[in-house]
């Protein structure tokens, strides 16, 4: 039995990383380039392979063949450690996310631990070390500024990130992410709890703070993953690339791909917490046959892809915030909104029982 558990876990980890996450990361880069091009009335990369689909492979080959240059003045140990620290936490957060129901009786989650969301916050906030160390170890002004900005930004938005999910756990009463999904299957998705239970006034009332909570969480995820409009650590125009200015070759690629991996894991968390996880109304779970298990997995990744599209769409619409605006927004608005939101949900829960 133990061997079965270890075997399936290994299979899930390897399959998840090498079949799903890494190809998704490289194709997210391709999608980013194509979508940005289409939004700006251009065509984007369309030369390598049919419709440019082999572009990520060409990019990877280019990154591997470039000179891996280490400047003489850097702190070598931390300089080499930083790119790993940027990539690893982003991939590690996927471990607790249920990405499907069951397949041949095996639950489609790598580690179903009962502190799921705490684990996510603990690991995701390690991502800042990659950027701060990269900025500091480079021993150069622009990367240093990028690292400093990143640390302040991450710390401010971590707060509203954590506060925004508290309403979810007030409702669910459990930190385990699989039970969050189970709750949403039974009571409707948390972004719109009234669906399927239209006459329930309490659920209509509940929808308002849940949408606010979703919005705050989404904005905080934008800030955590350093996406525009909060990409101050990179800020190509003012910081010449920010924390990865001094990096080249595969080390730069790790920073670059780490950002996209963080995007994917962030979207996966949002999907799990607010958008029903792998659930889609009318589709049964994997206990009815392996084909439904596969469909559940496909539904989950379709939702993640839709959220990634949304993140790219926002990136190519909004301009970057100034640093003081960013801090004001984080500390004076989102923090308060999230805090008040918790009380509103608590009051609703006092008068209505779900």
Q: Is 38 in the site for another protein (CB under 8 A)?
A: yes
Side-chain half-sphere exposure of 343, counting CA atoms within 13 A: 4
Piece of the chain touching another protein by CB under 8 A; list 32-40, 112-120, 232-240, 300-308: 32-40
Residue 226 Cβ vs another protein, minimum distance, rounded to whole Å = 19
Q: Is 64 in the site for another protein (CB under 8 A)?
A: no
Inter-residue contact 229 to 241 (CB < 8 Å):
no
Piece of the chain touching another protein by CB under 8 A; list 40-48, 81-89, 130-138, 293-301: 40-48
Candidates 11, 43, 64, 340; binder of another protein (CB under 8 A) is: 43
Q: Which is nearer to another protein, 17 or 37 (CB)?
A: 37
Using CB under 8 A, which residues numbered 305 to 324 contact another protein? 313-314, 316-318
Number of residues engaging another protein in binding (CB under 8 A): 12
Q: Is 39 in the site for another protein (CB under 8 A)?
A: yes
Q: Which is nearer to another protein, 212 or 270 (CB)?
A: 212
What 3-state DSSP class applies to 309?
helix
Inter-residue contact 248 to 67 (CB < 8 Å):
yes
Q: Which long-range contacts (CB under 8 A, 24 or more apart) does 29-36 make?
A: 29/56, 29/59, 29/256, 29/257, 29/260, 30/55, 30/56, 31/308, 31/309, 31/312, 32/260, 32/312, 32/315, 35/309, 35/312, 35/313, 35/316, 36/312, 36/315, 36/316
Q: Determine the Cα–Cα distance for residues 308 and 24; give it in Å rounded to an integer.
A: 11
Q: Determine the Cα–Cα distance for residues 349 and 131; give it in Å rounded to an integer.
A: 40
Q: Is 5 in the site for another protein (CB under 8 A)?
A: no
Q: Determine the Cα–Cα distance for residues 154 and 325; give it in Å rounded to an integer.
A: 15
Residue 69 Cβ vs another protein, minimum distance, rounded to whole Å = 30
Q: Which is nearer to another protein, 114 or 325 (CB)?
A: 325
What does residue 351 show for φ and ψ, rounded to 5 degrees?
-95, -25
Nearest CA-CA partner of 132 in 157, 150, 159, 158: 150
Q: Which is nearer to another protein, 40 or 237 (CB)?
A: 40
Residue 43 Cβ vs another protein, minimum distance, rounded to whole Å = 6
Candidates 2, 3, 4, 41; binder of another protein (CB under 8 A) is: 41
Q: Is 35 in the site for another protein (CB under 8 A)?
A: yes
Q: Which is nearer to another protein, 40 or 199 (CB)?
A: 40
Residue 316 Cβ vs another protein, minimum distance, rounded to whole Å = 6
Q: Determine the Cα–Cα distance for residues 150 and 259; give it in Å rounded to an integer.
A: 13
Q: Is 40 in the site for another protein (CB under 8 A)?
A: yes
Residue 93 Cβ vs another protein, minimum distance, rounded to whole Å = 27
Inter-residue contact 128 to 225 (CB < 8 Å):
no
- Contact residues toward another protein (CB under 8 A) are 35, 38-43, 313-314, 316-318
């Amino acid at each position: 039995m133990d061997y079965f558990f270890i075997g399936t876990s290994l299979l899930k980890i390897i399959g998840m990383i090498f079949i799903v996450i890494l190809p998704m990361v490289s194709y997210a880069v391709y999608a980013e380039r194509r979508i940005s091009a289409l939004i700006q009335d251009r065509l984007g990369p369309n030369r390598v392979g049919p419709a440019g689909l082999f572009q990520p492979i060409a990019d990877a080959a280019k990154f591997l063949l470039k000179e891996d240059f280490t400047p003489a003045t850097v702190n070598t140990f931390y300089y080499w450690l930083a790119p790993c620290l940027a990539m690893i936490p982003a991939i590690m957060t996927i471990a607790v996310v249920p990405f499907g129901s069951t397949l041949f009786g095996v639950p489609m989650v790598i580690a179903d631990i009962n502190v799921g969301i705490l684990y996510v916050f603990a690991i995701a906030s390690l991502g800042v070390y990659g950027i701060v160390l990269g900025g500091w170890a480079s021993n150069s002004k622009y990367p240093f500024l990028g690292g400093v900005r990143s640390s302040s930004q991450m710390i401010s938005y971590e707060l509203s990130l954590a506060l925004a999910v508290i309403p979810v756990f007030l409702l669910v009463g459990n930190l385990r992410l699989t039970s969050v999904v189970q709750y949403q299957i039974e009571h409707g998705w948390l972004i719109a709890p009234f669906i399927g239970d239209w006459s329930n006034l309490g659920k209509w009332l509940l929808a308002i703070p849940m949408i606010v909570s979703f919005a705050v969480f989404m904005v905080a995820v934008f800030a955590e993953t350093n996406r525009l409009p909060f990409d101050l650590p990179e800020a190509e125009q003012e910081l010449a690339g920010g924390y990865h200015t001094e990096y080249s070759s595969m080390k730069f690629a790790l920073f670059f791909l780490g950002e996209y991996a963080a995007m994917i894991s962030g979207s996966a968390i949002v999907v799990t917490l607010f958008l029903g996880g792998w659930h889609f109304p009318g589709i049964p779970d994997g206990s009815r046959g392996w084909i439904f298990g596969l469909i559940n997995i496909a539904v989950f990744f379709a939702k993640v892809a839709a959220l990634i599209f949304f993140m790219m769409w926002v990136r190519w619409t909004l301009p970057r915030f100034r640093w003081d605006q960013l801090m004001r927004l984080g500390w004076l608005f989102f923090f308060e909104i999230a805090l008040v939101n918790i009380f509103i949900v608590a009051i609703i829960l006092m008068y209505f029982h779900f």
